Structure 1
Amino acid sequence: MRAIWKGAVLAQSNDTKVIENNHYFPPGSIDLKYFKTSNTHTHCPWKGEASYYTIEVNGQTNKDAAWYYPETSHAAKPIEGYVAFWKGVEISE
């Protein structure tokens, strides 16, 4: 699977985890040069507190387009630290 935005491959892995129709990519599969830490946080009742990344590609910014759970609840341990995408990031094989 690949996560692509504005022609840049943000992440690529054969080992994504699919939860609630979102592909979560292993932390080692993301290309960190496109990721900037965001101060945004949200809470999911069963996964825990999510942190976000803003994506930057060729001077274009996609605020909070990626999220991850640094520490999950017991039920969501398989995706702890994994990164998922939205806001126009294309996920494809």
Structure 2
Amino acid sequence: MKAIWNGTVVAESDDTVVVEGNHYFPASALDPKYILPSNTKTMCSWKGEASYYTLFVDGDANPDAVWYYPQPKEAAAEIKDRVAFWKGVKIEA
């Protein structure tokens, strides 16, 4: 699977976990040169607290387009050390 934004592959892996229709890639599959830290946090009742990254490709920013659960609740243990995408990021096989 590939995560593509702004015409650039920002993550690629054959090992994704699908939860609620979202492909969670291994964190190591995300190219660190395309991310910036974000202070955004959200809460999910069964997964726990999510943190975010901003994608930055060719001078364009996509704020909070990547999310992850640093310490997911037990029910969501399968997404530990994984990242998912939204906000216009295309996921393709």
Note whether the superposition's TM-score is higher than 0.5.
Answer: yes
- How many residues align? The count is 93
Q: What is the 5 A alignment of 1:5-84?
A: 5-84=5-84
Please state whether the residue corresponding to 2:72 is helix, strand or coil: coil
Deviant stretches of 4+, over 3 Å:
none
The runs of 5 or more residues in structure 1 that have no matched partner are: none
The runs of 5 or more residues in structure 2 that have no matched partner are: none
Distance in 1 of aligned mates of 2:16 and 2:47: 17
TM-score, reference length from structure 1: 0.98
Distance in 1 of aligned mates of 2:88 and 2:55: 11
Please state whether the residue corresponding to 1:25 is helix, strand or coil: strand
Q: CA RMSD in A?
A: 0.5
Please state whether the residue corresponding to 1:75 is helix, strand or coil: helix
